[in-house]
Amino acid sequence: MLEWLRHYRRDQLTGDISAGIVVAMMMVPQGMAYALVAGLPPVAGIYASILPPVAYALFGTSMTQSVGPMAIVSLMTGAALAPLAPAGSSLYMVLAAQLALISGALLLACGVLRLGFLANFFSRPVMSGFTIGAAFLIVAGQINPLLGAAFPHWHGPSMLLGLLSLLLLVLARLWLGALLRRLGVSAWWADIAVRLAPMLVVIGATVLAGLFDLGALGVRTTGPVAPGLPALNLASSSGHWRPLLQPAMLIAFIIFLTSMSAAQTLALKRQEKLDINRELLGLGASNLASALSGAFPVTGSMSRSAVNFSAGANTPLASLITAALLALALVVPNGALALLPLPTLAATIIVAVLGMLELSTLRLAWRYDRADAAALLAASSGVLLLGVEAGVMIGVALSMGMMIWRASRPHIAVLGRIGASEHFRNIERYPARTMPDVLVLRIDAGLFFGNVEAVGGRIEEELRTRPDTRHLVLVMSAVNSVDTSALFGLMEWNQRLRQRDIGLHLAEVKGPVMDRLRDSDLPATLNGQVFLSTAMACDALGQGADLNHVSI
């Protein structure tokens, strides 16, 4: 804990200060915008950006992670709370903090129990599909705020302001960096300017709103921000622990996935080591801190952490400086924050979220593995059609389903001898010789409950097409593990083959697998032998006979 502080070097300070300032300036509009996505008053987004990064700095392991509100997690928060309380009500705010509390407690518990492996319940294509679906949902949710009225209606001044903001943000994203560099601005400053474009657009729109009194024209603004730091929030609704549990589990899962993918990308760039279980503790503590601030679930964000990193952050001190600046913004006179036009905030959300759309995974999966590409599209469609919560469950089901489906089609090769050598190869790929009474099968997969029936079925099939078989040799060189279900399978095959007077032999069993099998009844009851090599098995069983029988 705070190891980075003990080894803090003075030369790290400049980077941390500049990153702290840049991220704070980015955080104000982003935090307020994502609070709106979650159905909360904009100030909640600032509350969610003060204590949570402090908690993360205490417990997390990433040096450059920036913890706070994040688009998808805010979308999920809104989806979870919508059926439970009217948006804007005080119950809604209590429930948002309670959701952060439960999510945080779950993340902490997972960290303590070292359940970091749970992140592996989503495959990469499924995560990509989930993100694409969620991005579309978020954009769809911002159409009405952008137009200032419910689509297909619009409110002229709001729509003009919203579309103008959108145009400026898109232009800044596409060309501002190149333009500034051409004007002689250094690459670092040009990059920072691009990152701060949303802040500048929001300031511009706020100034416009003030000058022309756009509020009087009906352009909605963020409204007055309660002055001062967030009060300690300990409120909870006792009737809502149960209905919040499942959404909190799904949100905690996505918090973890999102944060880990951001942290890992950056840790790789800096060649740092992350401790996945301490990351869980950091995220759990952050969400508890968010709950205490009366805010909502938070996570590490890829886009914001990348800004933190490229603006020079060396340690979590950068995040502490960001937090301090945001706290300062709440205590100084900040009447201007009340004038932020919502159409402009909607535009910043749309542009930020479109940046999350990343089609390279789909493209690659489409070329490499159509089934993975189909899973990606199914995950996107699931989110779009059934919502973001169902989307998480669909994503897990798709990931697991793909795994089980692949496992149910194990690769099994019939082996034959190459000439008179000691080498045995797949008879479908090599001109290898088989013996009429010895069937040699190489199982190219770890044996476990997901494939044991399929392997058993395949063995039966091969035996049916080779009725003269008296010995079955299973070559286990590629079998990395044998679970309890598969052990039962082996014992059943053994018994069944014994009834049919066919020997069951194992060859090339790996050390760790053999160590485990010795703890079972299998070696004692095996109706055959365990051979070190396939050649030794065939020499012993075939008695050198009939090597002239050539298959294929």
Contacts of 370 (CB under 8 A, 6+ apart): none
46 vs 295: CA distance, rounded Å: 9
Tallying the residues shown for the chain, one arrives at: 552
Q: Measured between alpha carbons, how far is 528 from 537 in angstroms, rounded to an integer?
A: 10
346-385: contacts with a copy of itself (CB under 8 A): 361, 364-365, 367-369, 372-373
Are the beta carbons of 337 and 64 closer than 8 angstroms? no
Residue 477, interface with a copy of itself (CB under 8 A)?
A: yes
Q: Closest approach of Cβ 174 to a copy of itself, in Å?
A: 25
Q: Which tokens in the block code for residue 130?
A: 């989930």
CA atoms within 13 A on the CB side of 144: 8
Residue 537's closest CA among 503, 505, 497?
Answer: 505
For residue 266, give both structure tokens: 């950056």
Q: In terms of CB distance, is 64 or 361 closer to a copy of itself? A: 361
Q: Give the C-alpha separation, 527 to 503, whole Å.
A: 5
Among 510, 530, 536, 540, binds a copy of itself (CB under 8 A): 510
Query: Is residue 271 close enough to count as binding a copy of itself by CB under 8 A?
Result: yes
Only segment of 78-86, 175-183, 405-413, 466-474 that touches a copy of itself (CB under 8 A): 405-413
Binding span for a copy of itself by CB under 8 A among 22-30, 148-156, 245-253, 396-404? 396-404
> What is the spatial distance between Cα 375 and Cα 24, in angstroms, rounded to a whole number?
38
Q: Which is nearer to a copy of itself, 147 or 482 (CB)?
A: 482
Q: Which of 65, 98, 286, 399 binds a copy of itself (CB under 8 A)?
A: 399
- The interaxial angle of helices 452-465 and 484-499, nearest 10 deg, is 20
CA–CA separation, 137 vs 363, rounded Å? 22
Q: Does 478 engage in binding with a copy of itself (CB under 8 A)?
A: yes
Interaction between residue 521 and a copy of itself (CB under 8 A): yes
Within positions 195 to 224, which residues make up the interface with a copy of itself, using CB under 8 A? none
Q: Please choose, from the candidates 123, 118, 83, 80, the residue with its C-alpha nearest in 3D space to the C-alpha of residue 102.
A: 80
Q: Which of 6, 90, 273, 333 binds a copy of itself (CB under 8 A)?
A: 273
Closer residue to a copy of itself in complex, CB, 282/410: 410
Nearer to a copy of itself, 421 or 480 (CB): 480
Binding mask 162-191 for a copy of itself (x = CB under 8 A): ------------------------------
As given in the structure block, the two tokens for residue 128 are 């990509």
In the stretch 122-151, what mask flags binding to a copy of itself with x, by CB under 8 A? xxxx--------------------------
450 binds a copy of itself (CB under 8 A): yes
Q: Where are the beta strands (DSSP E) in 370-494?
A: 412-417, 424-426, 438-443, 471-475
Residues near 6 by beta carbon (within 8 Å), at least 6 away in sequence? none
Q: At closest approach, how far in Å is the CB of 317 from a copy of itself?
A: 25
∠ CA 371-377-378, nearest 5°, is 85
The binder of a copy of itself chosen from 213, 422, 460, 546 (CB under 8 A): 460
Q: Is 237 in the site for a copy of itself (CB under 8 A)?
A: no
The DSSP output letter for 175 is: I
Residues 6+ apart with CB under 8 A from 12: 314, 315, 317
Stretch that binds a copy of itself, among 3-11, 68-76, 454-462, 466-474 (CB under 8 A): 454-462
Q: Smaller CB distance to a copy of itself: residue 108 or 445?
A: 445
Q: Which of 186, 481, 525, 543 binds a copy of itself (CB under 8 A)?
A: 481
Least Å distance between CB 309 and a copy of itself?
15
Residue 440 vs residues 354, 462, 471, 490, 540: alpha-carbon distances, Å: 55, 10, 8, 16, 13
Residues forming beta bridges with residue 439, ordered by sequence position: 472
- Name which position in 86, 156, 512, 523 contacts a copy of itself (CB under 8 A): 512
Considering the rule CB under 8 A, would residue 416 count as an interface residue with a copy of itself?
no
C-alpha–C-alpha distance, residues 540 and 531, integer Å: 9
In angstroms, the CA 38 to CA 202 distance is: 20
Nearer to a copy of itself, 105 or 407 (CB): 407
Q: Which residues bind a copy of itself (CB under 8 A)?
A: 117-125, 264, 268, 271, 273, 361, 364-365, 367-369, 372-373, 399-408, 411, 426, 429, 444-446, 448-451, 453-454, 460-461, 464, 477-478, 480-481, 483-485, 487-488, 492, 496, 500, 510-512, 516, 519-521
